[in-house]
Amino acid sequence: MTYAKKIEKAEARIDWAKPAAAVHNQIRGLSPFPGAWFEADWGQGSQRVKALRAMPADGSGAPGTVLDDALTIACARARCA
């Protein structure tokens, strides 16, 4: 048996500049606790959003850009939904 170090808040923050597969694995690995998260501003100031599920999808855009109403967000090489 080995011990793992405590996961820091900064490690749980999603970096959309990473490839979609890496973002997907981060969300999957941290769900449901402590949970991967990102900050978004949807007209009410900056809010923390916890991502519990994701799946890679085709498409393109600047990393971190919301691409559609299904909350598909662009990553470095492919987008994550």
Residue by residue, pLDDT tens for the chain (81 residues) are: 899 889 888 999 999 999 999 999 999 999 999 999 999 988 899 999 999 999 888 878 899 988 988 889 999 865 555
Phi, psi angles (nearest 5°) of residue 9: -60, -40
Q: Which domains does the chain have, with CATH numbers?
A: 14-80 (3.10.25.10)
What is the distance between the alpha carbons of residues 76 and 28, in angstroms, rounded to a whole number? 18
